[in-house]
Structure 1
Amino acid sequence: MEQGLRGTEGMTRAETNRVRLEVCVDSPAGVAAAIKGGADRLELCAALVVGGLTPSRGLMALAAASGRPAYAMIRPRPGDFVYGPADLDVMGDDIDTARALGLSGVVLGASLPSGELDAAALSILVDRAGGLGMTLHRAIDLTPDPIEALDIAIELGFERVLTSGCARTAVEGAETIAELVDHAQGRISIMAGSGVTPDNAVDLIRQTGVAEVHASCGMAPAVVDQHLLHFGFVQPGARETDAATVMWLAAAIRDIEADQWP
């Protein structure tokens, strides 16, 4: 299958001329909610409260069995994206697991201490991920030159980049996202993420020209067990994927024609 079409399950570009929605989830309930709400693709994580870590084998297997395209975050620990040999070994094994379980792709990123993309580390991971779809995650938002980083992603064969435009939220970084879309010229998909909601998604898409958006569609739980919070088993700020929010976001973007494709 053509590299840029992996995430569209073999459909032609004409058949997929609409904005696509990726929802990040970190639990079996999140997988079910995202699918019920109409997400086009799942990003599987553990610990979304710290930006997402590599999901468990069990969650990967569950998502693979759902029939919905799913990409596994490959991030072995919280913190920065500066990885040593041991980190890369673990990440390589996790990529192998994602492939063996039948996932559509993986989400990768690696940085130098300067914030620039670590092209050497990424090349190792990309080689390990051969045959899988690949998204470059928001490590690009830490780079001093996102255009240069985008060129590296294109050269390495990534099919898309997830970005907030080097800002706290995609709305705040919309100008940079639009510049990335313009520079990409259809060679790679730019997916806007961070703070995307049913209320701002349409304006963001029209302002930037992105063909894909990424959101957590999370809601705070109705009740937080203070005993669990006290012992550290629940993190402050934790949210749960909400099927209704996924549905509202999917409906908001459904009829927008995308004018940029990988």
Structure 2
Amino acid sequence: MGDVLLEVCVDTPAGARIAAESGADRLELCASLNDGGLTPTGGLQRFAQDLGIPVYVMLRPRQGDFAYTEDEKTVILRDAREAGQNGAQGIVVGAITADLSLDTDFLARVLDEAGLPATLHRAFDTVQEPEAALEDAVKLGFERILTSGHAPRAEDGTDLIARLVELASGRISIMPGSGVTSENVQSILQKTGAREVHSSCSSILDCTSQSPLAHTLGFVPTSGIKETSADAVAAMKAVLRSEHRVVA
């Protein structure tokens, strides 16, 4: 077996650079991770291309659920095309229908428009029948599924993740994500058999040096803001290297 791959989700230039320079194997590039990750700007996409690791761009035009209007679908399709033009190595996308299944017709259009490898994001965790959705994802040509196993945190969804890994049988990668840290990643991998993981590897920055008005006006929360942590990325990679030695 090869090394376990670490994907780090980032939403700032600083976070992208920290993740790339601290050992991340791939970036999931977003805006507004506090909203679950939205489509990043073209400028951030082009910036990330210079960091030397693969960049997969989130395609999500708003926060909330994953049942999109025709106008929202138009935006996603345009963003899919522009992601390739901005140099992305892949895209991250998902969409569901009113009956809580994958919107396969639309997703096929997105993948065709982008012409890039694709990750099915945690829209997967909102479908009614995950095993059927896995088969749909395989047929559509997705490279991987990001999932917490239909639980708020991946460590609570390991039974389903393990089942998906078994059903996938190498046809598509199953990547645990949500609440994955250096403290629980080894247990998650051992319980599921997954070979790549997704994490923000973040910590809370002390923002007390900011202008008092930035806090008063609500631009900067007094509790601080999340940012990618070089120490967290390095700690995760250390555990993954240890896990590789155990399972290889």
Quickly name the TM-score band, shorter chain normalised.
Answer: over 0.9
Structure 1 counterpart of 2:152: 168
Is 2:205–2:224's contact at 8 Å kept on the other side of the alignment?
no
Structure 2 counterpart of 1:249: 236
Cα distance 1:197–1:103, how it changes in 2: closer, same or farther (>3 A)? Answer: same
Give distance in 1, aligned partners of 2:215 and 2:63.
20
Structure 1 position 190, deviation (Å):
0.4
Matches within 5 A, 1:125-204: 125-130=110-115, 132-204=116-188
Structure 1 counterpart of 2:106: 121
Q: Which runs of 5+ in 1 are unaligned?
A: 1-13
Is 1:49–1:238's contact at 8 Å kept on the other side of the alignment?
no
Q: Which runs of 5+ in 2 are unaligned?
A: none
**CA RMSD between the two structures:** 1.9
Is 1:18–1:255's contact at 8 Å kept on the other side of the alignment?
no
Q: Deviations over 1:69-120 (max 9, x none)?
A: 0000000111111112211111111111111121100001001133221112
Structure 1 counterpart of 2:80: 95
Give distance in 2, aligned partners of 1:229 and 1:143.
39
**Count of residue pairs the alignment pairs up:** 244
Structure 1 position 227, deviation (Å):
3.6
What TM-score do you get using the length of structure 1 for normalisation?
0.88
Percent of residue pairs identical:
46
Structure 1 position 229, deviation (Å):
4.1
Cα distance 1:153–1:229, how it changes in 2: closer, same or farther (>3 A)? Answer: farther
Give distance in 1, aligned partners of 2:37 and 2:84.
19
Superposed structure 1 runs of 4+ greater than 3 Å apart: 224-227, 234-238
Is 2:207–2:224's contact at 8 Å kept on the other side of the alignment?
no
Is 2:31–2:39's contact at 8 Å kept on the other side of the alignment?
yes
- Match of 1:254, SS state, is helix
- Match of 2:186, SS state, is helix
Give distance in 2, aligned partners of 1:237 and 1:189.
35
What TM-score do you get using the length of structure 2 for normalisation?
0.93
Is 2:20–2:52's contact at 8 Å kept on the other side of the alignment?
no
Is 2:95–2:103's contact at 8 Å kept on the other side of the alignment?
yes
